[in-house]
Structure 1
């Protein structure tokens, strides 16, 4: 029987009616059915897990061919059931995207591309959706600490395209400020003394901007604080204590963890003629971190500046009856 079982001539002979011919015929039909089902079944393999088409088809065919009769049936069941399960699956929303400080309530279907709208769209993981990319590009013009934080959180997004886009936008923000710092540092030795003081102030503020925007690389915060202090001291020797210098110095104290001294210096900057729009928000931030709500109300009532801000304006209106 073994000799006739593995004899291709005996199997092909029309006079042969041995049981082995029936077995081999069933195996051949089993293999052909598995191959036919493997053609559409390859589409069920996730794109990242697919290999060469020949290898994928051969693997699926072997899965069906090595299990007589049940193999093709299992492949067919997989072909029919898995697409239904995929359609019924609820997309898992990422939980790593947190709302920024002072953010307004985020509606379920925002009609804008602010920070809240960007968060809502980045939580949408529908395949093929371009909403996440559009949201990141829209908030690129809103360069603030909140949007930088959102870009950094997007670096942990499950969509690889969004991760790469967020990384590129962060690099572009950092490169823009770093380029300005290098250009001004190269221009300082070639300018007159009075102009050097102004350039030094600009350099001190640019180093602070990197810190405020959250663009400083790990371990570089102390370096930028020292650079800001160095340029600030050099500017004081040339132009003295101007309102802008006091404002920048107060901001440096605030970033260094000295809020009390920073508040006093901000007050001196206001008395010296610094624009309230460049000072009052920082005083309000210090009062907020200290949970000094009476001071916050006093600052809100001091200027109409806060009512014009999109987020803080809502807080001012809610607190107005209490003040």
Structure 2
């Protein structure tokens, strides 16, 4: 069968060339013009049909379109078109599947974000923001934006909010979608807990429900999903829930008191927050978690001796790596006065 097809192809090419070299194209009559093009079309039709059967199987799934493509290519360019198609068919028919080179997609893992790393080039916000600047191509900004999924929300969300004004539509939409999805997730949990709170609950269940509501509202604050007046409102809601939980008189742990201290600190209630942090320590909460906040309160009051004492205590307890630069500064004993480095506690 393939021999017959090749014979028809060669015959069609030879006949088409013979028509072009014959006296027929030189005649000026209408009959000669129509006859020449009819013979050319017949040669192209035979050629296209034969070539279509010689092509690999994946090109024969749509035979009509394949035939039309071959016919058009041969008809538009007499002699040269059929010869070109002949060469294409000859080349493809001798290629084996194992010889074909296909593009193979590769699955690339997202860069890891180590929150305890000491390499500022890898984990610092500056390194992340540098790949999201306006001068960076949109494709790289998009990849960097997707990488933020592995970054803690407290770091990632402020960066996403900045990208809401990006010049690239795709970057803006993805950034908005990420923020919206996270806010809806927390709002869904809040609505569910508020619904549960309306039921007839035991004292312990009501306590757990109120604490969870306070934690969810604090998560909105901590993740940077609310700003301005809405932030003040959410802080008030969180404080109301944690106060209501502790007022029930149920047995509570240091974590609930520590959460209250953080909420009060965010509201600017320094004295009350210090009392809450102190109570959390008395209840057995981790000193590494509480002391940085006590140091911040002391720093606000310009009690630098107490700040240094807290930092010396943290130095002995191996604080988290993100706090260690601050701890090292206060334990260095340098000549720089703390009041000239008021940004020293910004990251606590």
TM-score (norm 2): 0.53
Which runs of structure 1 show a deviation greater than 6 angstroms over 4 or more consecutive aligned residues?
A: none
Give the C-alpha shift of residue 200 in structure 1: 0.9
Measure, in 2, the Cα distance between the counterparts of 1:263 and 1:140: 34
What does residue range 243-258 of structure 1 map to in structure 2 within 5 Å? 243-258=254-269
Measure, in 2, the Cα distance between the counterparts of 1:126 and 1:251: 38
Q: Does 1:297 align with 2:297?
A: no
Q: Deviations over 1:125-184 (max 9, x none)?
A: 344x53222222222332343432222222233333222222122112212222221222
Q: Give the RMSD, CA atoms, in angstroms.
A: 3.0
Q: Deviations over 1:43-73 (max 9, x none)?
A: xxxxxxxxxxxxxxxxxxxxxxxxxxxxxxx
Q: Does 1:175 align with 2:213?
A: no
Distance 1:248 1:214, change over 3 A: same
Equivalent residue number for residue 59 of structure 1:
none
- Mark the runs of 5 or more structure 1 residues left unpaired by the alignment: 1-103
Q: Does 1:141 align with 2:150?
A: yes
What does residue range 80-119 of structure 1 map to in structure 2 within 5 Å? 110=121, 112=122, 114-119=124-129
Give the C-alpha shift of residue 113 in structure 1: 5.8
- Mark the runs of 5 or more structure 2 residues left unpaired by the alignment: 1-117, 335-348
Q: Does 1:199 align with 2:209?
A: yes
Measure, in 1, the Cα distance between the counterparts of 2:126 and 2:318: 20
Q: Does 1:266 align with 2:290?
A: no
Greater shift after overlay, 182-191 or 230-239? 182-191
Give the C-alpha shift of residue 194 in structure 1: 0.9
SS of the residue 1:239 aligns to: coil
Measure, in 2, the Cα distance between the counterparts of 1:218 and 1:168: 21
SS of the residue 2:332 aligns to: helix
Measure, in 2, the Cα distance between the counterparts of 1:122 and 1:214: 19
Greater shift after overlay, 182-191 or 269-278? 182-191
SS of the residue 1:177 aligns to: helix
Give the C-alpha shift of residue 187 in structure 1: 2.9
Q: Is the 8 A contact 1:277 1:305 kept in 2?
A: no
SS of the residue 1:168 aligns to: helix
Give the C-alpha shift of residue 263 in structure 1: 1.6
Q: Is the 8 A contact 1:114 1:139 kept in 2?
A: no
Instruction: Tell me the number of residue pairs that the alignment of Structure 1 and Structure 2 aligns.
Output: 215
Equivalent residue number for residue 310 of structure 1:
321
Measure, in 2, the Cα distance between the counterparts of 1:193 and 1:291: 43
